[in-house]
Amino acid sequence: MRLTAWIVALGVWGWSSTAIAQAATLNFNSSSGPGQQQLTVNPVSVRIDVSRSATPDGDPPPPVVTVQVSGKTVFRALRPDLPGMETLVEIAEMDASNPYPEVIISHYTGGAHCCNQVEVISSDSTGKQWRSLELGAFDGGPHPLEDVDGDGQLEFVDRDNRFLYQFSSYAGSAPPVQVWQLKNGQFVDVSQQPQFRRLHGEQAEQMLKAIQETPPRSPDSNGLLAGYAATQAILGKFPEAWKLVESRYEPSDWGLDECLGTYDDQGRCKGEEVRYKNFPEALQAFLQRNGYLPATADR
């Protein structure tokens, strides 16, 4: 499994839940050869076809994804990006604003730490128009949706990838939990809503244990502290976490230089560049910039 050592399995930080609603799932691998695989939750079905004929370059043909409602095709597209690796196909209820469940396609794109690319095929409120929505790329491989809050609508639960490499190595990073819902045809980050506090509370306990078990002078300390401070900020316990940050952080240049704009194609910062004095100063600015703290947060 291509996951950081801090979350070897999806339940390590405590975000597993007793599912109230469940998704129908299909594991697809385009390298297994030509053929057809289908998943149905009446009246919605999704079919993935792999042709027998190779491309002119001799590569496997791109799979075709077809979504049908009561036998009528409502969506059809080539998906050349589906690799010959693991792909998870689900039919699940994510959006209560439309009459049909969604089709979710999550596939591993390959690479050392990347990526689970997530696409949702969903109808509008009338059920007549269907479209593909890209949620984005997340670290690791595909994993099922969860009904975390027990409301019958499934959520996509992952980690805030902005924390990876920000203050430590990949293995030393401990990103907070991130929860996404589909509402009225739009993805919404609902991570900080009250019904998900249990996830953050369990993760904070795991992070604190890891911090306490990390030896002094460890290069992983700041990555752990960053995730812990963000998680405690969600729980309204930031001052308590900040005391630990100030007492346990290690002097490091990692994360002190920040580009506040975008980068050009050569990797050069096109906006303002900032140099912070130390890790606590850089961390507070990072948490404010990414919505974990208000702009004028007290420590």
Residue 22's SS3 state is coil
Query: Is pLDDT at 9 greater than 50 in this prediction?
Result: no
- Rounded Cα distance, 144 and 94, in Å: 12
Strands 35-41 and 24-28: unpaired
Give the number of other CB atoms < 10 A from CB of residue 12.
16
- Rounded Cα distance, 243 and 245, in Å: 5
* Beta pairing partners, 122: 131
- Rounded Cα distance, 48 and 38, in Å: 6
Residue type, 114: C
Report pLDDT digits (tens) over 172-207: 999 999 999 999 999 999 999 999 999 999 999 999
Give the number of other CB atoms < 10 A from CB of residue 160.
21
- Rounded Cα distance, 233 and 256, in Å: 21
Query: Is pLDDT at 297 greater than 60 in this prediction?
Result: no
- Displacement of CA 252 from its chain's centroid (Å): 28
- Rounded Cα distance, 165 and 44, in Å: 41
Q: At what angle do helices 238-248 and 197-213 cross, to 10 degrees?
A: 20
Report pLDDT digits (tens) over 48-77: 988 766 666 666 677 899 999 999 999 999
pLDDT confidence of residue 84 = 64
- Rounded Cα distance, 203 and 89, in Å: 28
* Beta pairing partners, 258: 274
Question: What six digits make up the tokens of 25?
Answer: 């799932």
Contacts of residue 29, Cβ cutoff 8 Å, sequence gap at least 6:
84, 85, 86, 87
pLDDT confidence of residue 12 = 32
Residue type, 8: V
Question: What six digits make up the tokens of 49?
Answer: 């076809």
- Of the two residues 284 and 114, the one the predictor is more confident about is 284
CB 94 within 8 A of CB 102: yes
Question: What six digits make up the tokens of 128?
Answer: 């007549």
- Rounded Cα distance, 11 and 6, in Å: 11
**pTM beyond 0.75:** yes
Closest CA to 140 of 290, 267, 234, 12: 12
Report pLDDT digits (tens) over 245-262: 999 999 999 999 988 888
